[in-house]
Chain A
Amino acid sequence: MTIKVLTQESVDHLRAITKAGTDILARDYDSLVATYSVKEVDLDVTFDDSISLRLPDGSRQEENYDAENCMLIAQMLPDLSEINATDERLWVTLSLKQYRNYALERWPLKDDTNIVNHRINHWFASNTRGLMGRHSLSRLWWSHQLCSRISSENVDETLKSLLFNSDYRSSMLERNTTSAVTEVVQTIILISEEKKKQGVLYNREKFRDFMKSLDMLAGRSTLSVLDEAQLKAVLEDLYVKAYS
Chain B
Amino acid sequence: MSTQAYPYPILGLSNDYLDAGFQVAFSVPEGDLEPGDLLNVRFRFQLSDDAILNLINQKVAGFGFEIFCPGTSRRKAVITAQAGTLELSTSEYIGRIIFSPRVFVLKSYEGFRSLNFHPEFGDKGFDIAPGDLLAATNDESLYLDFKKMKFESLLVVQRMSELKPFQYEFQLEGEYIIIGMGDKFYDFFIEARSDPQVTPYLIMSIYKDCMVAALDELTRGGEEVESAWARGLEDKLEEKGLALPQQASFDELNKIAQNLMEDLGIKRAISQ
Contact = CB atoms under 8 A, between A and B. Distances in A.
B160 A20 contact: yes
Interface residues on B, range: 35 or more
A15 interface: yes
Contacts of B79: 225
Contact of A128 (B6, B35, B73): B73
Nearest to B107: A230
Contacts of B76: 181, 224
A126 B223 contact: yes
Contact of B94 (A13, A82, A129, A220): A82
B162 A17 contact: yes
B77 A86 contact: no
Contact of A16 (B74, B102, B146, B171): B171
Interface string B75-99: 1110100000000000111110000
A184 to B, nearest CB: 9
Contacts of A220: 6-7, 132
Contacts of B171: 12, 15-16, 19
Interface residues of A, number: 40
Interface string A168-207: 0000000010011100000000000000000000000000
Contacts of A224: 66, 75-77
Contact of A129 (B68, B75, B223): B223
B131 interface: yes
A112 to B, nearest CB: 23
B163 interface: yes
Interface stretch (B15-23, B172-180, B252-260): B172-180
A132 B73 CA distance: 9
10 contacts: A9-B176, A16-B178, A16-B180, A81-B91, A126-B174, A126-B175, A142-B73, A176-B73, A181-B75, A225-B131
Interface of A: 8-9, 11-13, 15-17, 19-22, 81-83, 86, 88, 124, 126-129, 132, 142, 146, 176, 179-181, 219-227, 230, 234
